[in-house]
Each structure stands twice: as structure tokens, then as C-alpha cells.
Amino acid sequence: MPPRILPQPCSWKLFLAAVWLTSVHAMASEPVIDADFPGGNIVLERIENDAVYLRQDLRDTEGWWFYWYFRVRGAAGQTLTFNFTNRNVIGLQGPAISLDEGSTWSWLGRQAVSGTSFSYTFGADADDVRFAYAMPYTEADLNRFLATHENNPHLKVETLTQDRSGRDVELLRAGKLDGEPRYRVALTARHHACETMASWALEGILDAVLSDTEDGRWFRENVEVVAVPFMDKDGVEAGDQGKNRRPYDHARDYTGEPIYPTVQALKDFLPAWSEGKLRIALDLHCPYIRDDDIFWVLNPDEPYQANTRAFLSVLSDVQQGPLTYSPANDRLWPRGWGDREKTNFGWTRTVPGVQVSTALEMPYSTNAGMQVTPDNARAFGQDIAAAVRQYLAAP
């Protein structure tokens, strides 16, 4: 008897089933890419297999700028290549990356970058991976910092004003808060919402003022420091560029009647609070996309230029942190930057008593060949605080 041949399932049915299963798997594993969280900024154009095409959201920016910050979910086990379609917006250390929903960050590195693209292989349990041009800093980061000093009697958290959306804009007082100080110092940051690395330096200055060290004790006996961490609070939380915002940005709003509530509030507050004791006003920024040295922008007018050079010479001498600074990199206000009178440090020099009025430019990712990180940016902030002390205490 010939062998019995069993009936075989129809090959076309197997084929359709395989196609269906493949489609379901593809739909289930397609990554979700968005910026729907504080500080987020991206425009997703399309996803083609393992290639993602996207660009920074310029919104109301005049011209081109380079800030972006997005998250990827549902890509576990995949390798994706992210292609930016509006010029090269990747910095000197590659993208910043966070594996814990933005709490901590590291640099992915240039080895992941090819031209205007970068690639990343997601771990098997990578449920939420975030990428950014530089290491972000939003209200959540400020709150984490404030929580570390929650019971410090030498720190008070107040409100400067409400931004256009109704958000409270923080004003911090630190140092000598009981009795009259000998001196006052004013610190501002994030006139341009995207300039995140400056915020880590601001943390370092405040840490030094509040610390139980010789510098900290001197501040608490002699100096009241006021700090506004977010001059463009709405922009920070919305993930705006902030730079070159139409019709002009927060850093160009200091003449006439300001259009931004924070600028008007600061112009009202600072002269009255100073009482002629404000000596140093520092406005903290980040420079252009791939600038790679710390530098300060100086008022060309005297005596402010000479006073600022003296202060920065002290900073050069006392610095101990890993990020090195050289006064040779400093710049007088360039003509191409527009009307200096419209800027914060152009205005603060007019407040009675001010000797030093200048702007820091803190690189986004690289300083003299070294990676810039939250830790070493804070250390540079501590160096700034030491220089403030030495400058003010000098006979």
C-alpha cells in the first residue's frame, strides 16, 4: 500500500496569516515620538522603517535656532536613526540622553553622529528615552534643587510676578537675610528659554552662598543675593527657543515699556531692593550652537569695563573647578549684537551702586575640550561665588 499523504493547509492562508501577524507586530512596535512634557520641543515629520525624520520647532522665532528636546517610547530593542531636516542642530558632544524621564543626563557622544543624524540602540527595557540638544533645566529641576535646601534659613523662595500664562516666576533670596547687608548681588538666567546650561551654573553660585564653608559664611554675614532663575518662565516650560522671539525676546526688552511681565517686574524691583548696595549684576546665558569656551560679555563703558575686568581677573585666579576660564576669551559688546541699552546688563549698569554688570556665556556642551555637565557647571558657579567674595572683600 502506498504511503498515506495527509492533507496540507493552504499555502495562501499561511501567507495571509504571516502578513497579518507581521503587520500587527509592526504596529505594536512602532515608536512613539513626542515633546508633550515640560521643556519639550520637536516636530516629527515621518518614520520610515528605522529612520526618523524630524526638526526643531521654531514657533515664533525670527530666523533659525537649534534647540530641541524629545522623548521616544515603544522602541525597546530597536536601533533608530534620527535625521534632522532643518540644518545641523547636533552639538559638539552629540545629543544629551536621559534614561530616567529627564532626571539625569549624559552625553551620547560624537561616535553616534553622522552629519545631521544620530543613531541609538534602545535597550530591551527602554520604555522612555529622552534626547536633547543640551541638558534641559525646567521648573522640576529647580524644585529638586530647592528641596535640597528646604530647611535652610538663609534661603527664601518668593514670587517676582506671574508670567503671561499665570505661572509664578520664582525670585530667590539667599545669604544675609536678617538685618542690613553690606552688599547686594543680582543674578538672572534664561532670558532665552533654550539656554539651559546657564541654570546649572546658577545652582552652583547659590550652593556656595548657602554652604557651610568659609565662602558661604562670608556671604551670610555680608551679602544678600537675589536670583531670578527663569526670566522667560513660560518659554522654559513650553520648550520655546526664546532666542529671537518675535517681535523681540526678553533679553531685548529693557528700554521703554517692557512687553514681558518679568522684565517689567525686575525693573520695578531691583532699584528699590538695591538701596544703593547692589554692586554686582550677572546675567547668565549660553552662546551659539558650537561655541566651545566660557566667556563673558563686557560693557564697553567705563568704569564698568575696568571693574568687570578686575572681577574676572579674580575669577581667573581663584577658580578651582574642572572647567577652566580665561579672560582672553572675553568680548566687548559686539556691534553686530544690536542695541546694548535694550539688554539686561545694559540696563543694570544704570542702577545706583553697581560696579560690575556683565553677561556669562556658558557653552552648551564643550569647554576647552572638556564635556560640560551639570556637575562641573555647578563647580564653575561655585568659582564665580568665590570670585564675588574676593572682589567685594578687597580693600
Specify the CATH number for the domain of residue 61: 2.60.40.3120
Helix boundaries (H) for 87-154: 139-148
Asked if 175 contacts 226 with a C-beta cutoff of 8 angstroms, the reply is: no
Domain annotation covers residue 346: yes
**Which residue, of 107, 132, 157, is where some domain finishes?**
132
The answer to whether residue 334 sits within a structural domain is: yes
Which residue type is seen at 119? S
Q: Whose CA is closest to 93, among 149, 134, 152?
A: 134
Q: What is the chain's pLDDT, residue by residue, as a tens digit (395 residues)?
A: 444 434 444 444 444 444 443 443 444 478 999 999 999 999 999 999 999 999 999 999 999 999 999 999 999 999 999 999 999 999 999 999 999 999 999 999 999 999 999 999 999 999 999 999 999 999 999 999 999 999 999 999 999 999 999 999 999 999 999 999 999 999 999 999 999 999 999 999 999 999 999 999 999 999 999 999 999 999 999 999 999 999 999 999 999 899 999 999 999 999 999 999 999 999 999 999 999 999 999 999 999 999 999 999 999 999 999 999 999 999 998 766 778 889 999 999 999 999 999 999 999 999 999 999 999 999 999 999 999 999 999 98
Q: What is the pLDDT of residue 19?
A: 41
Q: How far is CA 241 from CA 21, 67, 213, in A?
A: 43, 6, 37
Is 9 part of a structural domain of the chain?
A: no
CA–CA separation, 210 and 175 (whole Å): 7
**Residue 287 counted as domain residue:** yes
pLDDT value of position 121: 98
Task: List the domain range (segments joined by +) for residue 32.
Answer: 28-132
C-alpha cell at 354: 553697581
Residues 119 and 255 in one domain: no
If asked whether residues 268 and 341 sit together in one domain, one would say yes
What is the model's pLDDT at position 7?
42
Instruction: Please indicate, yes or no, whether residues 164 and 91 belong to a single structural domain of this protein.
Output: no
Distance from C-alpha of 395 to C-alpha of 392, rounded to nearest angstrom: 8
Indicate the residue among 132, 163, 183 that finishes a domain. Answer: 132
Strand pairing class (370-371; 223-228) = unpaired
Residue 336 pLDDT: 65
Q: For residues 327 and 264, what is the distance between their CA atoms, to the nearest angstrom?
A: 32
Structure confidence at residue 174 (pLDDT): 98
151 and 101 together in one domain: no
Q: For the chain, where are the alpha helices, taking DSSP H only?
A: 11-29, 139-148, 197-210, 214-222, 233-238, 261-274, 304-318, 344-348, 374-393
Which cell numbers in the block locate residue 103? 532626571
Separation CA 77–CA 341 (nearest Å): 53
Nearest Cα neighbor of 291 from 341, 321, 330, 322 is: 330
Distance CA 117, CA 372 (A): 21
* Predicted pLDDT of residue 250: 97
Residue 16 lies in a domain: no
Q: How many domains are there within the chain?
A: 2
- CA gap 238, 254 in Å, rounded: 23
The answer as to whether 17 is a domain residue is: no
Instruction: Look at residues 115, 132, 149 and tell me which one is the last residue of a structural domain.
Output: 132
Residues 99 and 222 grouped into a single domain: no
Q: What is the pLDDT of residue 333?
A: 85
> Do 38 and 112 belong to one domain?
yes
Residues 6 or more apart from 126 whose CB is under 8 A from it? 75, 76, 99
Give Cβ neighbours of residue 341 (< 8 Å, ≥ 6 apart).
254, 255, 347
Distance CA 151, CA 148 (A): 8
- pLDDT confidence of residue 340: 82
Cα–Cα distance measured from residue 87 to residue 115, given in angstroms and rounded to the nearest whole number:
10
- Please report the pLDDT score of residue 337 as a whole number: 72
Of 383, 365, 187, 200, the residue nearest 289 (C-alpha): 365
Alpha-carbon distance 329 to 71, whole Å?
36
- 93 and 111 within one domain: yes
